[in-house]
Structure 1
């Protein structure tokens, strides 16, 4: 693991918030899934952006990164997040600036650390659960059909626009639907 160990401050680790009956339904469901599976997968349907999904609870359960993926239909994004989380559960730790096979058939995905400026717009349920921004999160970036990642020369521009560069601060991000959409703060 290549992150500094930091104590988890999630709802499950906060003794002052122990009465789960007082939590909202979403937080109770997240807590149940984190206890039962080690993570919860949150899917978000974009309105003026593509969909995305992310895990909540990997930091609590494994002391490591949670994972997000953008630009795919929410069901597909959730399935890929769950697949990566299952790989972590089986001992394949996540790391920043790495490539990983066995997520999308025939392609690698690359992982990049998410800049804290994206958390309020994209990871609200996780912020509520973890009670602190940011917790360690990586973006799993998928390539175009030719295997080129969005930052690589010759990458399909349509596929490039489907995935924000979450490792870049929002106020420094190139113009795109991700910074001009309803996600804007």
Structure 2
């Protein structure tokens, strides 16, 4: 069972110090997603790691509503805190709103700080759909697109590269489809 947290534009639904946490507590899951999309144009669903699942699943977060908000597929990010994932999805949304066209399946330099490389890889929802149940529910059975944002380890390697830090492979699995040859 995946445990979901909702985080959107600085609203942490589980932090009792957050003044909106009480409002969030009174909403059901669909209302929370709807409120976040009305507030920011998109929502972020974060899922806690589940060591009891077979195989174990890492923590991850994904957006809902990005295509309607900024014309880019929803984004899944593995291995980061909800705050960090929200920051990256916000960065992507802001870049798209600013007119940046982000290609899929191509290593990018310049989107992340310090000229770090990243890649957006399309996710086959026919295989990985169970990871994105809130998005599936939100879209009501209609097709939607999801991409994995892959970011480098501290040595600059992306998760599909031979030098990628082994300890990070569980935290950031590659579920996006890589271009032929990678």
- Normalising by structure 2, report the TM-score: 0.69
C-alpha distance in 2, partners of 1:61/1:155?
33
Ranges of 4+ aligned residues in structure 1 off by more than 4 Å: none
Deviation at 1:106, TM superposition (A): 4.6
Q: 1:91 to 1:37 in 2, by over 3 A?
A: farther
Confirm or deny: 8 A CA contact 1:45 1:74 kept in the other structure: no
1:118 aligns with 2:118: no
Distance 1:142 1:160, change over 3 A: same
Deviation at 1:166, TM superposition (A): 1.1
Name the structure where helix makes up a greater proportion of residues: 1
- Structure 1: give runs of 5+ residues left out of the alignment: 1-23, 169-185
State the partner residue of 1:76.
84
Structure with the bigger RCO (C-alpha within 8 Å, sep 6+) is 1
Q: Which runs of 5+ in 2 are unaligned?
A: 1-26, 52-56, 178-182
Distance in structure 1 (CA, Å) of the matches to 2:70 and 2:149: 18
The number of equivalent residue pairs is 144
Q: 1:28 to 1:89 in 2, by over 3 A?
A: farther
Residue 51 of structure 1: aligned partner: 59
Offset from partner CA, 1:36-76 (integer Å, 9 cap, x none):
32211111111223311111001223343111100122332
Deviations 1:71-106 (A, max 9, x none): 122332232222222322222233311325333545
CA RMSD of aligned residues (A): 2.2
1:107, 1:143 within 8 Å by CA — same for their partners in 2? yes
